[in-house]
């Protein structure tokens, strides 16, 4: 086929910008249109800046808390305001600062380090950011309505039910945080796919910078760890809105179910926060020691181990709830095990230090601060794993001390080091080393003054979350010193902010690779151009800038793949996940309003839910679906091959199990599966805990449940058949098969509904949970049906041309996954039918 003839039939050419040069194609939109930007460089920066603003707000709330506690019986804040302050402090820090800002660093630096021009799903990144921003605004706006959440960041039931927390404060929390969590899980899928599927030619997993491993494992943990809380929040919000008794003991619900769901999320969350920051440390240490990180293999093993262990010790937050001694011992043992992967990492850092003479720069000071504070916090963590000790100090200031040691030591100190280290990348200028040392020492001294004493305060019997305390029971002086320490800590952070604004104007220009680092993000002089790499160079080392001298020449002239841009599109190279060999050319979207529009529609949807304006909710839902459809409706890029340079001739957007789209579908199924199993956990937990209530619910209809299983199997077969037909370009039959698949999906959902129609969802928690599972499967079926009809419609309208199979190729595993969840539900109902008395 000649080039011109191909241009007439190739739908991907419709999206090219033939008049534009390479630089123009990658240019950032300006002004109001900058909201359409999808570049990881813009989105990452937005995550970091927004996260830092939430950090400052949460920090001010903490100062309010410390000021209230400076003397016994203080009346600086009334009880309600104090409760709001500590609730919002925890909530903002955990959900709207720590995770998003770390994801922001991942979003910004991973493509640069891995040799990609952008994250692999740029629109998803932009969408995730707006979800996070709107979710954060919803949570924060509660202050304006005098309805700030006041039940603690842990939101324990039944305190958070309608009965004990009337009004909207809990709804603000549940809806806003769930919304922000959508951002976190979308970013997780995006980071997984980007790390596995878009690296420079030759960068095998073993040559990947260690930061990539840290973020990869973190992203998997987010994908599995966040769903339990999302499910918990949805259940609690539906208890508040609809009266379904999930956590109500009078109806066979259990307040402890909330605690389990919360901490199955909440404990991994701690490691989700720690791991990326440890990734910063592992990136900065080699630079300042001048030698590669020692024990790369050990580190990878430790990170993976930590990821696994972190899901097995949630109950150490629940020792005092009356768990049996045997379970206590098991969870205690699992909790102490974390010392091993942590120990490995610390010793790898020490060994790395031993390889050379470190330069005592500001980032390095923060690394030393991290080592001291985090090791201390880790040791008190091991202490807390001991059950009898935990009985005493649980929910006291000892725990407050411990958690700030691990979170501030393990995350905030590396983060500030990372700010100093990478700030030239954002601004092209260096921050002051002199002021940086002041910032470090103020923060270090202030931190330890504030929090070290809290170990003693806690042992002396002071519980957490108390707005006042009586005089003369041994807490007065300790609290005063802690409060003074917090002001010193705050002064350090204020000095950092001042220096940041100072350096914007008068900081020293940074030039190229100012710290002499070995990783690829320093390939260009700062500030690097928005496309990251003019051509993507092959990488043969973990520290390419140290080991590949050709990379230190003129960056625009360094040889690599994708120098040519025949279709005038943004693109990067997609690789084999293991070997890093180029697999295909991944076409990337250009700036678009769709992510903002869709995120805004969801914000309206959630916001109207808050104020019970359900017609607006319905309208916003339609707008959201329109947004997602417009997102996906664009012409396909696949179906052609292009010369990528360096002897590679690569297909564009290949339909392949190793491609980023397929991996992303699998990642999404992982999240959907984690959501599903959180619900199944709820059912099995309630059934096991309160068997009496199980006897009260109606039996599910076995015929309908069996029918649902059959329909689900047929639906999976239909999706596979549609893929098979589509791959052979038999579009008409493929489209018809797609319609049948959609119908089978609807039948599956309908039969499941009929199977449980007799169960009263208001009478027992178990019955309500059965409804929740079927409702969830219904939502998944709705998505599958939408996708199947979408694929069919594109074929019938000629949007899909011969050779373009990606959508069908990726729908098949999704449909199979959803069918599996539906069939499992049917099987559970059949089993329940047999087991019920």
Cα-Cα-Cα-Cα dihedral sign, residues 771, 774, 779, 785: negative
Least CB distance from residue 768 to other proteins, whole Å? 15
Nearer of residues 158 and 803 to other proteins, judged by Cβ: 158
Least CB distance from residue 173 to other proteins, whole Å? 14
Least CB distance from residue 398 to other proteins, whole Å? 9
Q: What are the structure tokens assigned to 594, written together?
A: 């769709």
Dist. CA 365–CA 444, nearest whole Å: 10
Least CB distance from residue 459 to other proteins, whole Å? 5
Least CB distance from residue 171 to other proteins, whole Å? 17
Dist. CA 430–CA 120, nearest whole Å: 30
Least CB distance from residue 397 to other proteins, whole Å? 11
Q: Select from 163, 118, 165, 130 the least CA-distant residue to 34.
A: 130
Q: Taking the mean position of all CA atoms in its chain, how far away is CA 284? A: 23
Nearer of residues 145 and 391 to other proteins, judged by Cβ: 391
Nearer of residues 461 and 702 to other proteins, judged by Cβ: 461
DSSP state of 648: E
Write b or e for each residue in 723-752: b if 16 or more Cβ atoms lie within 10 A of its Cβ, otherwise e: bebbeeebbeebbbbbbbbbbbbbbbbbbb
Dist. CA 689–CA 251, nearest whole Å: 12
* Phi, psi of 635, rounded to the nearest 5 degrees: -60, 150
Least CB distance from residue 430 to other proteins, whole Å? 24
Number of neighbouring beta carbons within 10 Å of residue 152? 17
Nearer of residues 69 and 640 to other proteins, judged by Cβ: 69
Least CB distance from residue 322 to other proteins, whole Å? 4
Write b or e for each residue in 83-94: b if 16 or more Cβ atoms lie within 10 A of its Cβ, otherwise e: bbbbbbbbbbbb
Least CB distance from residue 466 to other proteins, whole Å? 4
Nearer of residues 371 and 775 to other proteins, judged by Cβ: 371
Nearer of residues 372 and 593 to other proteins, judged by Cβ: 372
Q: Could you tell me where the beta strands, DSSP code E, fall in 616-736? A: 641-645, 648-651
Q: Select from 608, 629, 630, 603 the least CA-distant residue to 618.
A: 608
Least CB distance from residue 350 to other proteins, whole Å? 5
Nearer of residues 465 and 512 to other proteins, judged by Cβ: 465
Nearer of residues 334 and 585 to other proteins, judged by Cβ: 334
Dist. CA 836–CA 75, nearest whole Å: 56
Nearer of residues 203 and 346 to other proteins, judged by Cβ: 346
Number of neighbouring beta carbons within 10 Å of residue 470? 9
* Burial grade of 774 (CB within 10 A; 0-12, 13-18, 19 or more): buried
- Cα angle vertex 187, ends 555, 580, to 5°? 45
Nearer of residues 34 and 327 to other proteins, judged by Cβ: 327
Q: Are 419 and 509 in contact (CB under 8 A)?
A: no
Beta bridge partners of 642: 650
Nearer of residues 344 and 528 to other proteins, judged by Cβ: 344
Least CB distance from residue 410 to other proteins, whole Å? 15
Number of neighbouring beta carbons within 10 Å of residue 510? 20
Nearer of residues 298 and 685 to other proteins, judged by Cβ: 298
Dist. CA 518–CA 544, nearest whole Å: 6
Cα-Cα-Cα-Cα dihedral sign, residues 255, 136, 602, 195: negative
Dist. CA 571–CA 109, nearest whole Å: 18
Least CB distance from residue 389 to other proteins, whole Å? 5
DSSP string covering 273-306: HHHHHHHHHHHHHHHHHTSPPS-HHHHHHHHHHH
Nearer of residues 107 and 257 to other proteins, judged by Cβ: 257
Number of neighbouring beta carbons within 10 Å of residue 549? 8
Least CB distance from residue 394 to other proteins, whole Å? 6
Q: Select from 226, 156, 268, 313 the least CA-distant residue to 678.
A: 226
């Amino acid at each position: 086929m000649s080039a011109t003839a191909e241009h007439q039939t190739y739908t991907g050419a419709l999206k090219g910008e033939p008049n534009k040069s390479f630089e123009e194609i990658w240019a950032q939109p300006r002004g109001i249109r900058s909201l359409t930007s999808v570049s990881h460089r813009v989105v990452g920066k937005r995550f970091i800046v927004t996260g830092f603003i939430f950090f400052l707000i949460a920090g001010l709330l903490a100062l309010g808390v410390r000021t209230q506690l400076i003397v016994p019986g203080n009346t600086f804040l009334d009880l309600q305001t104090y409760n709001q302050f500590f609730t919002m402090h925890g909530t903002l820090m955990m959900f709207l600062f720590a995770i998003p800002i770390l994801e922001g660093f991942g979003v910004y630096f991973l493509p640069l380090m891995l040799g990609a021009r952008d994250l692999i799903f740029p629109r998803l990144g932009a969408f995730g950011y707006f979800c996070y921003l709107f979710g954060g605004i919803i949570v924060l706006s509660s202050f304006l309505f005098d309805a700030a959440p006041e039940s603690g960041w842990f939101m324990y039931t039944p305190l958070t039910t309608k009965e004990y927390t009337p009004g909207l404060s809990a709804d603000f929390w549940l809806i806003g945080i769930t919304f922000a969590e959508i951002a976190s899980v979308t970013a997780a899928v995006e980071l997984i796919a980007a790390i596995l599927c878009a690296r420079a030619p030759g960068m095998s997993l073993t040559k990947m910078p260690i930061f990539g491993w840290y973020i990869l494992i973190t992203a998997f943990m987010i994908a599995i760890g966040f769903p339990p809380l999302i499910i918990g929040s949805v259940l609690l919000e539906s208890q508040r809105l609809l009266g379904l008794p999930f956590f109500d003991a009078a109806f066979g619900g259990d307040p402890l179910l909330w605690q389990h769901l919360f901490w199955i999320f909440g404990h991994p969350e701690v490691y989700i926060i720690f791991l990326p920051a440890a990734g910063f440390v592992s990136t900065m240490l080699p630079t300042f020691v001048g030698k590669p990180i020692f024990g790369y293999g050990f580190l990878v093993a430790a990170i993976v181990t930590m990821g696994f262990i972190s899901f097995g010790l949630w109950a150490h937050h629940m020792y005092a709830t009356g768990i049996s001694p045997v379970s206590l011992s098991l969870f205690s043992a699992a909790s102490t095990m974390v010392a091993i992967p942590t120990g490995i990492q610390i010793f790898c850092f020490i060994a790395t230090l031993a390889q050379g003479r470190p330069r005592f720069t500001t980032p390095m000071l923060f690394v030393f601060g991290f080592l001291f504070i985090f090791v201390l916090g880790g040791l008190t963590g091991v202490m807390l794993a001991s059950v009898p000790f935990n009985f005493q100090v649980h929910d006291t200031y000892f725990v407050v001390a411990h958690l700030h040691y691990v979170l501030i030591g393990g995350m905030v100190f590396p983060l500030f080091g990372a700010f100093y280290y990478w700030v030239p990348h954002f601004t092209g200028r260096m921050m002051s080393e002199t002021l940086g040392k002041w910032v470090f020492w103020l923060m270090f001294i202030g931190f330890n003054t504030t929090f070290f004493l809290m170990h003693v305060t806690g042992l002396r019997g002071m519980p957490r979350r108390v707005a006042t305390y009586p005089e003369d029971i041994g807490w007065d002086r300790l609290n005063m010193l802690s409060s003074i320490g917090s002001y010193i800590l705050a002064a350090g952070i204020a000095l950092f902010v001042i220096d940041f604004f100072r350096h914007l104007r008068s900081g020293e220009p940074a030039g190229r690779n100012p710290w002499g680092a070995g990783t690829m993000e320093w390939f260009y002089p700062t500030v690097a151009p928005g496309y990251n790499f003019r051509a993507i160079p092959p990488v043969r080392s973990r520290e390419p800038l140290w080991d590949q001298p050709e990379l230190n020449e003129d960056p625009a002239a360094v040889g690599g793949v994708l120098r040519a841009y025949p279709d005038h599109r943004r693109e990067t190279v997609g690789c084999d996940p293991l070997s890093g060999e180029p697999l295909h050319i991944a076409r990337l979207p250009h700036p678009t309003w769709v992510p903002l529009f869709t995120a805004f529609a969801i914000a309206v949807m959630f916001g109207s839910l808050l104020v019970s304006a359900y017609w607006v909710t319905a309208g916003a839902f339609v707008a959201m679906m329109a947004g997602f459809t417009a997102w996906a409706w664009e012409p396909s890029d696949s179906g052609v091959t292009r010369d990528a340079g360096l002897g590679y001739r690569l297909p564009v957007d290949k339909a392949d199990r190793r491609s980023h789209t397929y991996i992303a579908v699998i990642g999404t199924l992982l999240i959907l599966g984690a959501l599903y199993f959180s619900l199944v956990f709820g059912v099995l937990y309630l059934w096991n805990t309160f068997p009496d209530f199980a006897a009260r619910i109606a039996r599910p209809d076995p015929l309908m449940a069996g029918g649902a299983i059959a329909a689900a199997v047929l639906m999976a077969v239909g999706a596979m058949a549609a893929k098979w037909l589509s791959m052979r370009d038999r579009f008409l039959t493929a489209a018809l098969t797609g319609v049948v698949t959609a119908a089978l999906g609807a039948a599956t959902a309908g039969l499941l509904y009929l199977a449980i129609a007799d169960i009263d969802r208001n009478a027992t928690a178990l019955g309500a949970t059965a409804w929740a599972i079927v409702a969830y499967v219904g939502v998944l079926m709705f998505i599958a049906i939408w996708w199947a009809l979408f694929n069919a419609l594109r074929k019938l309208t000629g949007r899909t041309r011969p050779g373009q199979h990606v959508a069908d190729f990726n729908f098949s595993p999704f449909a199979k996954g959803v069918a599996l969840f539906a069939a499992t539900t049917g099987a559970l109902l059949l089993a329940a039918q047999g087991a019920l008395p």
